């Protein structure tokens, strides 16, 4: 069975988010299927973080519905989430942060989950180091590790590679690729279109809260005129064609 | 919730400087406030220029009062610094060695004796408006006390002179008249003489004199009471409406402990909630891991618990120096627990509104300190509108209720502890509800 034919693990229908008069999201609908790596791209202020935080259960939509695993209903375990800014306690060590959230997420064997995450993220040697002493890249790795603690069906990552160096980035994508291979769906926002082309199975383009494109990255490249093999150029041209 | 509590205790253990400041600063402020309340104002240093001659006296009838007694009365109210001349006194005031100077002029005895020109002292002082006000109020009080004491001396001398007039005797002066007849003895003596006189003009005149001396003796006896009343016309009798009389030093202890309780609970709770937001962990927690209510409850328990421990330790420690009734320890615990919970609830409300720890701490300080001072303003000491405003502010924040609860618990003061505890419980719920609303505002 192809990925497209499988039932969706997450269905988003007609989501809107309003902050007073401002509409951060307008009638956004899409599905995510098991094992998909879905990139959410768009200019700053497009609504990427708002969308991911609604899926993660941090915010509620003003209208529309999200069906599938509910972050709130299962004590935050069904959807893993790594926010844009690492959400960690800086006075605690890496292992203490992981252990605390493993316990709060009621993971069956917290110690085992911590060891597994330390190993997956290459942080075993840093386990006893306080987060306040870690580099930005390593903090981001712990941040992603926290999202993976409960082995969720769907992982929502807000710009996960933004603070990582090329080697760490490569390691992150290796980890996410492995997760997708185990049929975990990954939804991530990014400004690195090279990563979208290389790793994403699908791209969602948002601008001013509107969903403008939903399909494979290659289709996005093809849809833009005269950009050759340059996805970034294609993306800019795509937005310009639609008045953004 | 226990994991969050354990996490916060671990963070506190690793933030030793913060904890030290959090405990030492409020305790230091509390002790300063307590000292300021409990210590009566120290006697002011005042330079005295006594220009009177040694042994100079004020004549009161046949009695004499030494002018030096006035200086002695004044010295008991101040810390006297004797200086020889007025210019020395002015120099000392200018240099700030003394708060003020008092010049007792050479002619004070003559003026007091003559009763024609009023006796006058000169007071010399310096400084800004605040210092001038302090000098005026302090010195006026000291001079009023000295005047009162000196007037009692004069009144006693006058009473002795009247007694001599009434009862007769010796003047006590070397070479003075001896065995004088008293005014009250004259009517009896006259009556005996009149009885031996034949009726006629002389006898009628003697009877008139006898009636006058009788009248004069009765009224002179009354004048003693009049002089005593005039020296202090109104005496004060105090009546406490409710509760028992609270000694100033134990009230100061209650104030100091309440201030510490407030600072530690408010700062810790405000900082704790703001830290969750500052570290972006709040978003992770509220997406289903921990409900907002549980998160707030955990912060309230942690900060109320910490402040309770410090405040109780303070109370127990102070009891080594100030007599406190340990049989009321159950009431202390209730007052401290309810007060700590209300302060912690106020703290979480502040923390939920502020986005970062520094802003939360600043807001907590800015709010807490004036609240403590407002609650200590005596009722009726300001204009009615201002008093009402202060009463309203003190009612909607927990300091006054906590102070009253602890005062009732420690000193048995009024109002009764029950009403204050109910007040604190209501404020705890209100501030916790406000914090719940504030927490919805995520970054």
DSSP string, chain A: --GGGSPPSEEEEEEEEEETTEEEEEEEEEEE-TT-EEEEE-STTSSHHHHHHHHTTSS--SEEEEESS-TTTTTT-SEEEE-SS----TTSBHHHHHHHHHHHTT-SSHHHHHHHHHHHTT-GGGTTSBGGGS-HHHHHHHHHHHHHTT--SEEEEESTTTT--HHHHHHHHHHHHHHHHTT-EEEEE-S-HHHHHHH-SEEEEEETTEEEEEE-HHHHHHHSTT-TT-HHHHHHHHHHHTT-
Query: For residue A100, what is the nearest residue in chain B, using CA coordinates?
Result: B3
User: Closest partner residue to B288 among A74, A90, A91, by Cβ?
Assistant: A74
Nearest CA of chain A to the CA of B11: how many Å? 6
3-state class (DSSP) for residue B100: strand
**pLDDT at residue B420 above 60?**
yes
Quick one: pLDDT band at residue B330, thresholds 50, 70, 90? Answer: very high
Residue range B115-136: mean pLDDT, rounded: 74
Whether chain B has a CB inside 8 Å of the CB on A103: the answer is: yes
User: Closest partner residue to A104 among B3, B11, B15, by Cβ?
Assistant: B3
Quick one: pLDDT band at residue B443, thresholds 50, 70, 90? Answer: very low
8 Å CB contact of B279 and A72 = no
**Cα(B439)–Cα(B433) distance, integer angstroms:** 10
Taking every pair of Cα atoms in chain B, the longest distance, rounded to a whole number of angstroms, is 125
Q: How many CB atoms lie within 10 A of CB B414?
A: 16
Q: Name the least confident of A37-51, B89-103, B425-439.
A: B89-103
pLDDT of residue B240: 55
Say which residue the tokens 């100061």 belong to: B252
DSSP assignment of B197-248: SPSSHHHHHHHHHHHHHHHHHHHHHHHHHHHHHHHS---------SS-PPPH
Quick one: pLDDT band at residue B110, thresholds 50, 70, 90? Answer: confident
Q: Do β-strands A210-215 and A202-207 pair in parallel, antiparallel, or remain unpaired?
A: antiparallel
Please give the ipTM for the structure prediction. 0.80
| A151 compared with B171, residue with greater pLDDT | A151
Q: How many CB atoms lie within 10 A of CB A136?
A: 12
Tell me the two tokens of residue A72.
């709130």
Nearest CA of chain A to the CA of B298: how many Å? 14
**B2, B15, B287: best mutation site toward chain A, by most A Cβ within 10 Å?**
B287
User: Closest partner residue to B280 among A86, A101, A103, by Cβ?
Assistant: A86
What rounded mean pLDDT belongs to chain B?
Answer: 82
Sequence-ordered list of residues with C-beta below 8 angstroms from that of B318, at least 6 positions apart, any chain = B253, B256, B257, B324
Say which residue the tokens 């070479």 belong to: B175
Q: Using N-to-C axis directions, what is the helix angle for B398-411 and B384-396, rounded to 10°?
A: 80
Nearest CA of chain B to the CA of A230: how many Å? 35
Q: E strands within B51-205?
A: 57-60, 63-66, 79-82, 100-104, 122-125, 168-169, 180-181
8 Å CB contact of A87 and B281 = yes
> In terms of pTM, does the model score above 0.80?
no
If you count residue pairs, one on A and one on B, with CB atoms under 8 Å apart, how many are there? Answer: 64
pLDDT of residue A189: 93
B42-45: Cβ within 8 A, 24+ apart:
B43/B77, B43/B78, B43/B79, B44/B78, B44/B79, B44/B99, B44/B100, B44/B135, B44/B138, B44/B139, B44/B142, B45/B78, B45/B79, B45/B81, B45/B97, B45/B98, B45/B99
Whether chain B has a CB inside 8 Å of the CB on A81: the answer is: yes
Whether chain B has a CB inside 8 Å of the CB on A53: the answer is: yes
Whether chain B has a CB inside 8 Å of the CB on A237: the answer is: no
> Is residue B81 a contact partner of residue B127, using CB atoms and an 8 Å limit?
no
**pLDDT at residue B239 above 70?**
no
pLDDT of residue A194: 86
pLDDT of residue A119: 87
8 Å CB contact of A76 and B280 = no
8 Å CB contact of A92 and B11 = yes
Nearest CA of chain A to the CA of B13: how many Å? 10
> Is residue B292 a contact partner of residue B440, using CB atoms and an 8 Å limit?
yes
Domain-wise residue ranges, chain B = 2-38+247-439, 45-172, 182-228
8 Å CB contact of B287 and A83 = no
Q: Which residues pair with A203 in a beta bridge?
A: A39, A215
How far out from the chain centre does Cα B293 lie?
44
| B261 compared with B159, residue with greater pLDDT | B261
Task: Please list the helix, strand and coil fractions of chain B in percent, rounded to the nearest 5, in that order.
Answer: 70, 5, 25
* Contacting residues of B for A82, CB less than 8 Å apart: none
Among candidate residues B68, B76, B72, the one with its CA nearest the CA of residue B44? B76
Quick one: pLDDT band at residue B343, thresholds 50, 70, 90? Answer: very high
User: Closest partner residue to A92 among B10, B287, B289, by Cβ?
Assistant: B10
Q: Do β-strands A154-158 and A79-82 pair in parallel, antiparallel, or remain unpaired?
A: parallel
**pLDDT at residue B116 above 70?**
no
8 Å CB contact of B7 and A146 = no
**Cα(B109)–Cα(A157) distance, integer angstroms:** 96
For residue B225, with 0-12 CB atoms within 10 Å meaning exposed, 13-18 middle and 19 or more buried, which class applies?
Answer: exposed
Encode pLDDT of B354-391 as tens digits. Answer: 878 888 888 888 888 888 888 777 766 667 778 888 88
8 Å CB contact of B11 and A76 = no
| B345 compared with A175, residue with greater pLDDT | B345
Quick one: pLDDT band at residue B427, thresholds 50, 70, 90? Answer: very high
| B312 compared with B1, residue with greater pLDDT | B312
Q: How many CB atoms lie within 10 A of CB A237?
A: 16
> Which superfamily does CATH assign the domain made up of B45-172 to?
abc type-2 transporter like domain (3.40.1710.10)
How far out from the chain centre does Cα B426 lie?
32
pLDDT of residue B72: 77
* Contacting residues of A for B442, CB less than 8 Å apart: 58-59
Query: For residue B280, what is the nearest residue in chain A, using CA coordinates?
Result: A87
Whether chain B has a CB inside 8 Å of the CB on A105: the answer is: yes
8 Å CB contact of B14 and A101 = no
**Cα(A29)–Cα(A10) distance, integer angstroms:** 11
* Contacting residues of B for A88, CB less than 8 Å apart: 279-281
**pLDDT at residue B245 above 70?**
no
8 Å CB contact of B4 and A146 = no
> Is residue A158 a contact partner of residue A79, using CB atoms and an 8 Å limit?
no
> Is residue B185 a contact partner of residue B165, using CB atoms and an 8 Å limit?
no
| B136 compared with B394, residue with greater pLDDT | B394
3-state class (DSSP) for residue B182: coil
**Cα(A69)–Cα(A164) distance, integer angstroms:** 29
According to DSSP, residue B175 is labeled T
User: Closest partner residue to B289 among A89, A104, A130, by Cβ?
Assistant: A104
pLDDT of residue A227: 58
Highest mean pLDDT among B36-40, B213-217, B344-348: B344-348
Q: Which residues pair with A218 in a beta bridge?
A: none
8 Å CB contact of A87 and B286 = no
Nearest CA of chain B to the CA of A228: how many Å? 40
pLDDT of residue B270: 92
């Amino acid at each position: 069975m192809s990925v497209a034919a499988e039932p969706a693990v997450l269905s988003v229908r007609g989501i809107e988010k309003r902050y007073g008069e401002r509409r951060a999201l307008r009638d956004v609908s899409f599905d995510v299927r098991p094992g998909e790596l879905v990139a959410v791209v768009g200019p700053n202020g497009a609504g990427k973080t708002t969308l991911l935080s609604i899926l993660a259960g941090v915010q509620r939509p003003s209208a529309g519905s999200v069906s599938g695993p509910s972050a709130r209903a299962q004590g935050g375990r069904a959807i893993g989430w790594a926010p844009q800014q690492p959400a960690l306690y800086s006075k605690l060590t890496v292992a203490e942060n992981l252990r605390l959230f493993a316990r709060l997420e009621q993971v069956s064997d917290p110690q085992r989950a911590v060891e597994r995450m330390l190993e997956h993220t290459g942080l075993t040697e840093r386990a006893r180091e306080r987060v306040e002493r870690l580099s930005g890249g390593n903090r981001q790795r712990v941040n992603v590790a926290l999202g993976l603690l409960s082995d969720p069906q769907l992982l929502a990552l807000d710009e996960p590679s933004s603070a990582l160096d090329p080697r760490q980035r490569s390691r992150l994508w290796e980890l996410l690729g492995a997760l997708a291979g185990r049929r975990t769906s990954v939804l991530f926002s990014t400004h690195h279109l090279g990563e979208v082309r290389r790793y994403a199975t699908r791209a969602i383009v948002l601008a001013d809260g509107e969903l403008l494109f939903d399909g494979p990255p290659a289709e996005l490249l093809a849809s833009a005129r005269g950009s050759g093999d340059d996805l970034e150029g294609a993306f800019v041209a795509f937005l310009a064609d639609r008045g953004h | 919730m226990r994991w969050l509590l354990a996490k916060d205790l671990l963070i506190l253990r690793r933030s030793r400087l913060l904890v030290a400041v959090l405990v030492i600063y409020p305790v230091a402020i509390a002790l300063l406030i307590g000292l300021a309340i409990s210590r009566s104002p120290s006697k002011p240093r005042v330079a005295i220029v006594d220009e009177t001659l040694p042994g100079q006296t004020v004549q009161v009838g046949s009695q004499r009062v030494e002018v030096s007694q006035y200086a002695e009365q004044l010295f008991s109210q101040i810390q006297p610094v004797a200086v020889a001349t007025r210019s020395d006194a002015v120099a000392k005031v200018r240099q700030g060695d003394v708060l003020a100077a008092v010049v007792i002029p050479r002619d004070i005895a003559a003026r007091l004796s003559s009763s024609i020109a009023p006796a006058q002292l000169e007071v010399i002082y310096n400084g800004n408006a605040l210092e001038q006000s302090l000098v005026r109020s302090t010195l006026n009080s000291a001079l009023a006390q000295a005047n009162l004491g000196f007037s009692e001396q004069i009144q006693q001398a006058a009473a002795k002179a009247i007694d001599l007039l009434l009862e007769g005797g010796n003047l006590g002066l070397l070479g003075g008249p001896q065995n004088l007849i008293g005014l009250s003895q004259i009517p009896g003596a006259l009556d005996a003489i009149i009885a031996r006189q034949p009726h006629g003009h002389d006898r009628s005149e003697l009877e008139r004199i006898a009636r006058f001396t009788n009248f004069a003796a009765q009224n002179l006896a009354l004048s003693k009471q009049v002089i005593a009343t005039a020296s202090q016309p109104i005496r004060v009798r105090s009546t406490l409406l409710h509760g028992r009389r609270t000694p100033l030093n134990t009230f100061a202890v209650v104030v100091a402990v309440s201030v510490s309780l407030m600072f530690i609970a408010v700062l810790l709770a405000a900082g704790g909630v703001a830290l969750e937001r500052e570290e972006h962990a709040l978003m992770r927690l509220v997406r289903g891991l921990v409900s907002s209510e549980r998160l707030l409850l955990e912060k309230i328990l942690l900060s109320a618990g910490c402040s309770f421990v410090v405040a109780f330790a303070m109370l127990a420690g102070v009891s080594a120096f100030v007599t406190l009734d340990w049989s009321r320890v159950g009431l202390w615990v209730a007052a401290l627990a309810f007060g700590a919970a209300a302060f912690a609830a106020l703290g979480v409300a502040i923390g939920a509104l502020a986005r970062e720890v520094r802003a939360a701490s600043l807001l907590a300080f800015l709010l807490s300190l004036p609240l403590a001072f407002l609650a200590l303003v005596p009722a009726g000491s300001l204009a009615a509108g201002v008093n009402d405003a202060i009463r309203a502010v003190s009612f909607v924040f927990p300091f006054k209720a906590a102070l009253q609860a602890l005062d009732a618990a420690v000193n048995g003061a009024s109002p009764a502890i029950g009403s204050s505890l109910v007040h604190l419980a209501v404020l705890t719920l209100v501030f916790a509800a406000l914090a719940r609303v504030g927490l919805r505002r995520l970054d």
